[in-house]
Amino acid sequence: MCFDDLEISQKKEWYTQIQDDTEFPLKRTLKGLVRLSRFDEYAWFILLTSLLGVMAAQGTISWQLITLLFANWLSVAFAFMVNDIEDAPEDAFSTKNFERNPISSGLISARHAKLAALGSALISASLYLILGLWPFIIGFVCLLLGFLFSSQALRLKAMAFFDIITYGLVMAGLPFLCSYFAFSNRFNQVWFWPFVFVFSVRIFDRLHKEIRNIEGDRLSRLSEREAHQGTAVSLGNRTTSAFMMGLIILVVLTGVVTFFLINIVPRWVLIVMGILIILFMLPQLIKSQRFDVGRPFSLSFKEPLERAGALALILQFILPWLNDLLQLGIF
């Protein structure tokens, strides 16, 4: 019998049963923690965002750089953990999200998930505090918004416009500012462009996800809260698409300024980035033509673009450091 064939009462009994901590062996719990963090969904973009923040502040490779990377990753992981914890009871009865949520699918108990989320938040806040007062304040706001985004206490993700703004701040804007203020105590003349770039990319990403599910959201309104969920549902398909076109223009303009005009990215890094983009996108292009005809461009090439950009920026920090360490005299 498949999950869809179970009666509601059976599903409730099953969901209650899988929350018994004694039923969760260590190996499955660890696998559930990895799934709960959803690290693969944001790792490259948070790395790219953090490095742009450090570059805007003219920072260099140091212990601060490593510290803020882990702080930003854990901060975003906390937001995803809270989301799955809050949505687990509903996801347990959803054919769409049942397997994706490690709590509803039985990989990890709700208790262990809450402990993992609390641990991530505390470690992240501690790392921000090590970096200084402003990274701590901004990091704390990021953690708070990450909690309120999904928490039943406020549930910002169910409020039109608040959902995309909060998502953009938690997943890009605030991690960027934490990275910036880890190496600078005041704004300079160039921080604005990369900030708007990463913030706009994340808002576009959120709207793209919402508009893909807009019809499903309309058909699955189980409560008054769900009836008003998300900006895309409130604006409608046509208005949201027009808004997204404006975001694309903003992303392109701020991206050009960030990577070509304000001189925070050396030319050799841009060349390396271009080569990596080609290398990473070719397999996806071939795969999409063979198996994923009609698949949206962003779904096929989003990760290769993020990975290429992040790796190229990593080289900007590592290669000059190695050059100075080994006294090669190249840079």
The tens digit of pLDDT for each residue in 179-212 reads 999 999 999 999 999 999 999 999 999 998 888 7
Q: How far is CA 299 from the centre of its chain?
A: 15
Residue 16 falls inside a structural domain: no
Residues 282, 167 share a domain? no
Is residue 202 in some structural domain?
A: yes
Share of the chain above pLDDT 90, in %: 59
pLDDT for the residue numbered 324: 82
Number of domains in the chain: 2
Last residue of a domain, one of 218, 243, 265: 265
**105 and 219 belong to one structural domain:** yes
**Phi, psi (deg, nearest 5) at residue 97:** -110, 0
pLDDT value at residue 237 = 83
Instruction: Say if residue 280 is in the same domain as residue 157.
Output: no
Pair (124, 176) in one structural domain: yes
User: Are 64 and 164 in the same domain?
Assistant: yes
Tens place of pLDDT per residue across the chain (331 aa): 444 444 555 555 556 655 555 456 777 888 889 999 999 999 999 999 999 999 999 999 999 999 999 999 999 999 999 999 998 888 777 777 778 889 888 888 889 999 999 999 999 999 999 999 999 999 999 999 999 999 988 899 989 899 999 999 999 999 999 999 999 999 999 999 999 999 999 999 999 888 877 655 454 444 444 444 678 888 888 898 899 999 999 999 999 999 999 999 999 999 999 999 999 988 777 766 555 544 454 556 788 899 999 999 999 999 888 888 887 777 6
Per-residue pLDDT, 199: 98
In angstroms, rounded to a whole number, what is the distance separating the alpha carbons of residues 142 and 71? 11
Residue type at position 68: L
* Burial label, 180 (beta-carbon count in 10 A; 0-12, 13-18, 19+): buried
CATH number at residue 46: 1.10.357.140
Q: What is the pTM of this model?
A: 0.87
Listed residues 239, 265, 291: the one ending a domain = 265
Which distant-in-sequence residues (6+ apart) come within 8 Å of 311 by Cβ?
276
In 3D space, the residue among 39, 36, 42 whose CA is nearest the CA of residue 310 turns out to be 42
Amino acid sitting at position 31: K
Same-domain pairing of 237 and 199: yes
**275: containing domain:** 266-326
In a shared domain, residues 248 and 274: no
In a domain, 231, yes or no: yes
Q: Is residue 62 part of a domain?
A: yes
The domain boundary, picked from 214, 247, 265, lies at 265
| 1 falls within a domain | no
In a domain, residue 296? The reply is yes
Question: Which two structure tokens, joined as six digits, stand for 9?
Answer: 């009462």
Q: Six-digit token pair at 328?
A: 């090669």
3-state SS track over the chain? CCHHHCCHHHHHHHHHHHCCHHHCCHHHHHHHHHHHHCHHHCHHHHHHHHHHHHHHCCCCCCHHHHHHHHHHHHHHHHHHHHHHHHHHHHHCCCCCCCCCCCCCCCCCCHHHHHHHHHHHHHHHHHHHHHHCHHHHHHHHHHHHHHHHHHCCCCCHHHCCCHHHHHHHHHHHHHHHHHHHHCCCCCCCCCCHHHHHHHHHHHHHHHHHHHHHCHHHHHHCCCCHHHHCCCHHHHHCHHHHHHHHHHHHHHHHHHHHHHHHHCCCCCHHHHHHHHHHHHHHHHHHHHHHHHCCCCCCHHHHHHHHHHHHHHHHHHHHHHHHHHHHHHCCCCC
Helix 174-181 and helix 110-131: axis angle, to 10°? 40
Within-domain flag for 7: no
24 assigned to some structural domain: no
- Do 211 and 298 belong to one domain? no
User: Are residue 175 and residue 284 in the same domain, yes or no?
Assistant: no
Same domain assignment for residues 211 and 99: yes
**216 shares its domain with 311:** no
Is residue 242 domain-shared with residue 201, that is, in the same domain? yes
